Amino acid sequence: MRNEVASREDYQAEVEAERIAEALVFASSQPVSEGFIADRLPRHFNVRAIMLRLKEQYAPRGVNLVQVDDAWAFRTSADLSFIIRRDENEVKKLSRAALEVLAIIAYHQPVTRAEIEDIRGVQTSRGTLDVLMEAGWVRFRGRRRTPGRPVTLGTTRDFLDHFGLEEIRDLPGLEELKGAGLLSGRIPANFNVPSPLMSDELAEDEDPITQLDLEELGLLTPGGASQD
């Protein structure tokens, strides 16, 4: 009898944990991290297991629970998104230069501005990077341990969310790019699409960005106040 009561209590606690996790994600306009959810549960639960169960429950519905890196968000089901977008204002399209730079950063991160220009064969304007940063898709990662200590760039969680990717490894590979017509069928035999860094951890040749670095880059005023 005591075991039955304990089992019933455990089940009820698990159901309540699911309800809390569901409410936290529903109330947020941004993807919610598993750590954030875990901190707000009444006791220790396997958050990943909870979220995967919720994901399965929402899979056939008009709103899906989707994973974005180590975070979760509710998004319109892909097959219904055209209904929602029909009444939305058209999002301003990126220029060809901005798309090229975004693709290079996504596949080659961590990458410096000089490396982007070397790959493209042309200079990259500050305005192009500003557009990608204002969109929230590109961020400063760190500083390369080379002469001049250039800043390294990488993609953000918002980038994954916008393009419907759970993690950076979900970027299309060579065959998918060719199938979508984004690569010519007459590409060199030795051509391959680079595999982006799978983690947000700094690479061996990167140092973290400090407050002094942010001031130098114009992101903070001296003393630590953020620029508006």
Q: What is the pLDDT of residue 148?
A: 85
Q: Give the three-state DSSP class for 183.
A: coil
Report in angstroms the alpha-carbon separations of 141 from 22, 29, 37, 168, 227: 31, 24, 25, 15, 19
Give the pLDDT confidence of 155-211 residue by residue, as tens digits: 998 888 888 888 888 887 766 665 655 555 555 555 555 666 555 677 778 888 887
Cα 73 to Cα 28: distance, rounded to the nearest angstrom: 8
Check: CB of residue 80 under 8 Å from CB of residue 92: no
Q: What is the pLDDT of residue 88?
A: 46
Cα 153 to Cα 191: distance, rounded to the nearest angstrom: 24
Residues 6+ apart with CB under 8 A from 137: 102, 155, 156, 158, 159, 162
Cα 225 to Cα 228: distance, rounded to the nearest angstrom: 9
Cα 144 to Cα 108: distance, rounded to the nearest angstrom: 14
Give the pLDDT confidence of 86-120 residue by residue, as tens digits: 444 444 577 888 888 888 888 888 889 999 998 88
Q: Which of 195, 160, 220, 143 is nearest to 31 (CA)?
A: 160
Q: What is the pLDDT of residue 196?
A: 60
The larger pLDDT score, comparing residue 28 to residue 191, is at 28
On whether the pTM is more than 0.75, the answer is: no
Q: Which of 169, 168, 152, 149 is nearest to 160 (CA)?
A: 168
Give the pLDDT confidence of 45-80 residue by residue, as tens digits: 999 999 999 999 999 998 899 998 889 999 888 777
Q: Give the three-state DSSP class for 76.
A: strand
Residue 212, pLDDT above cutoff 90: no
